Amino acid sequence: MLALLQAMQQAGVSVDAFKCGPDFLDPLWHQAVTGKPSHNLDSFMMGAGLCIQQLQSTLNAGTYGLIEGMMGLFDGKAGVGETGSSLDLARVLGVPVLLVADVQGLSGSIVALVKGYCSCASDKGVSISGIIANRAGSAGHAALLAQLLKDHQLPPIVAWLENGAPTIKQRHLGLCRPHETTVPELTALLHADLAALLKTFGQLNPALPENHHGSPELAGKTIAIARDDACCFIYPANVEWLMTQGAKLTFFSPLNGEPLPEATDAVWLPGGYPELYAAQLASSATWASLRQFIERGGPVLAECGGMMLLGQLLIDNTQHAWPMAGILAFTTRMHSELVALGYRELAGGAKGHEFHYSTRHMQENVAPAFAIEHGDQGLRYKNLRASYNHWYFASAPAEVLRWFQA
């Protein structure tokens, strides 16, 4: 994905990047290359209408849209190519697929692999328009594969990437962020027929759904959003949605000990990496103003890492216990193994996902924040709602609005 974005940028092709699924980190890398925000497109969290709306509202005339898939083409919430999968997104958008195939050590098997993918995709009403051969051994190897596909009337190889291309460092929640390392230069290793590649792009056929915002429900309200290296899992679409509701947005940094901005009406504590910055957060001066706001009944939404900030202690992977805000009576413990992963949906319709390597241990009973059958019900204290869930706000506007209103 990054190699294609770099090649298109260097060739002067206007391109916007998108990410299939709920991932927060891959879009940061897209933005590091294009200089523009990368939006998520998720057929479960957003549905077809919001996906189409996001794509069409982002793309300008003459701009290409490149959507990075997630996992395998047919992997989603359940089944084969069903809701949440890259294939399902291609189907609801009516766009073709560029299939990235790991071709290391392959020759004739490329035909069986591509034919199988094309057949299964076609059964779901999706076309594969081209192949990107990843980890090709040489130009000769790539040419051999291209001829085999041509001989069997299969989609052409439009680009191939040399074996041994640099990789990006990872940690427990995914890729490291761009500012923590360097963006690898991949164009020298990518061999692309750009003209052929651009011909594989389709037109966005579905009409833009009517969008009835109604009156801005948050007009005159100031929402303070925690934003720094510890609180960095923020969908651009959620910020944009709050603005369409009329909210004035301000930002503060718990890492820097900043108090809540004056005249704050509601607070959003997004997820991120509190475990990486626990020493700084342990002495943050932010907690006093946050505690006062919560005790006064101010509405607060805390998601995953944002929830972890509110507990008594955060125990990291070295077993060091760091004091947190102490507003709620629980301890968070980090683990080396994945604890929870999956889509979540509330009875009221709000959709999101859960993905974490920690567990929450309560010292006293607290009322649940959400009515949810599978996943974390969270914690409700006055007008504070905290859980491990990351929400997509536009999935249920009426419900989400209540979270930001006293």
Q: Is residue 204 part of a domain?
A: no
Both 226 and 190 in one domain: the answer is no
Both 344 and 239 in one domain: the answer is yes
Q: What is the DSSP string of 96-147?
A: -EEEEEE-TT-STHHHHHHHHHHHHHHHTT--EEEEEEEEE--HHHHHHHHH
Instruction: Determine whether 120 is an active site residue.
Output: no
| Percent of the chain with pLDDT strictly greater than 90 | 85
Which residues sit opposite 25 in a β-bridge? none
Contact 127, 96 (CB under 8 A): yes
Assess whether pLDDT exceeds 80 at residue 210. no
Q: Give the mean pLDDT of the chain.
A: 94
Average pLDDT over residues 74-84: 92
For residue 159, what are the domain limits? 2-199
Assess whether pLDDT exceeds 70 at residue 332. yes
| CA–CA gap between residue 358 and residue 316 (Å, rounded) | 9
| Percent of the chain with pLDDT strictly greater than 70 | 98
Q: Which helix (H) or strand (E) holds 226?
A: strand 222-226
Q: How many domains does the chain have?
A: 2
Longest Cα–Cα distance of the chain, Å, equals 72
| CA–CA gap between residue 131 and residue 158 (Å, rounded) | 6
Both 58 and 136 in one domain: the answer is yes
Both 193 and 232 in one domain: the answer is no
Both 195 and 343 in one domain: the answer is no
Both 185 and 246 in one domain: the answer is no
CATH assignment at residue 170: 3.40.50.300
Q: Is residue 213 part of a domain?
A: no
Q: Is residue 125 part of a domain?
A: yes
Q: Is residue 211 part of a domain?
A: no
Residue 208 is predicted with a pLDDT of: 55
Q: Is residue 210 part of a domain?
A: no
Q: Is residue 295 part of a domain?
A: yes
Both 186 and 245 in one domain: the answer is no
The first and second tokens of residue 211, run together, are 């969008």
Summarised one tens digit per residue, pLDDT across range 21-56 is 999 999 999 999 999 999 999 999 999 999 999 998
Q: Is residue 167 part of a domain?
A: yes
- The residue annotated as part of the active site, out of 20, 118, 231, 304, is 304
Both 226 and 144 in one domain: the answer is no
Q: Is residue 58 part of a domain?
A: yes
